[in-house]
Amino acid sequence: MPSSVQDAEVLLSQALSGSRECFGRLLSLYRNYLKLLVVAQLEKTLRRRLSPSDVVQETFLEANRDFGQFRGTSAGEFCAWLRRILVNNVHRAVEQHVLAAKRSVHREVSLDAVANSLEQSTVRLDSILAESIASPSARLQQNEQQLALANCLASLPADYREVIVLRHLQSLPFEAIGQHMERSAGAVRMIWLRAIRELRERMIDASETAGETP
């Protein structure tokens, strides 16, 4: 699974040296991670109208355009730079799709509010790792864990992915999740338990794969 922060550091160094191919490969490492952050910001009804993949693609286009302005040297700084671009795109997309028809001073979306919400989503990613997956391995560092987690979540069945996003990233109770998924609270709790077990297994596999990397 190409989610290694070590991979990102190498690709970033080569991209800063002028390799466009490496820059494209670098962006691809963050696709699932950024998409997960977008999904965490959008209610189900909005996700039907606004594609998280489109928001991420727009972020990549802007990153490609503005890469010459990036002043960092590490994968962590690059990830933070991508998140800042993503915040602006989420903010713009929400305004265009939600508020355009009913705009008022009371319904304006604050850019800071979007940024804070997205930052909370990154914190909740850590909580999934710490509380639900019981720290898969010390071999995976925090940033690498988040990338691996996003990739593992993307590989889960849709119902599993949905229940984890709603429960952990949007902090909804099982009753509300049941309404979203048109199932009983008991049914979604069982789906959640299976989803967490499957996610844990995939994270352990990712951890072991990282441990085998020279």
List, for residues 159-184, the tens digit of each pLDDT value. Answer: 999 999 898 888 899 999 999 899 99
Residue 103 confidence (pLDDT) above 70:
no
The one-letter code for the residue type at 123 is V
Residue 213 confidence (pLDDT) above 90:
no
- Which band of pLDDT confidence, cut at 50, 70 and 90, is reported for residue 105? very low
Longest dimension (CA), the chain: 56
Nearest to 60 by CA among 95, 33, 91: 33
Nearest to 44 by CA among 141, 195, 138, 161: 161
The per-residue b/e assignment along 164-178, b for 16 or more CB within 10 angstroms, e otherwise, is bbbbbbbebebeebb
What is the reported pTM? 0.78
Residues in the chain: 214
pLDDT higher for 135 or 146? 146
191: left (phi over 0), alpha (psi -120 to 50) or beta: alpha
Tell me how far apart the alpha carbons of residues 7 and 24 are, in angstroms, rounded to a whole number.
13
Residue 203 confidence (pLDDT) above 80:
yes
Tell me how far apart the alpha carbons of residues 43 and 206 are, in angstroms, rounded to a whole number.
29
Residue partners of 201: CB distance under 8 A and separation at least 6: none
3 state SS of 66:
helix
Tell me how far apart the alpha carbons of residues 7 and 4 are, in angstroms, rounded to a whole number.
5
Tell me how far apart the alpha carbons of residues 34 and 87 are, in angstroms, rounded to a whole number.
10
The number of domains in the chain is: 1
Domain ranges, residue 170: 5-212
62-71, 80-89, 204-213: least confidently modelled range: 204-213
Interval 44-53: pLDDT, tens: 556 667 788 9
What percentage of residues in the chain have a pLDDT greater than 90?
45
- Which band of pLDDT confidence, cut at 50, 70 and 90, is reported for residue 98? low
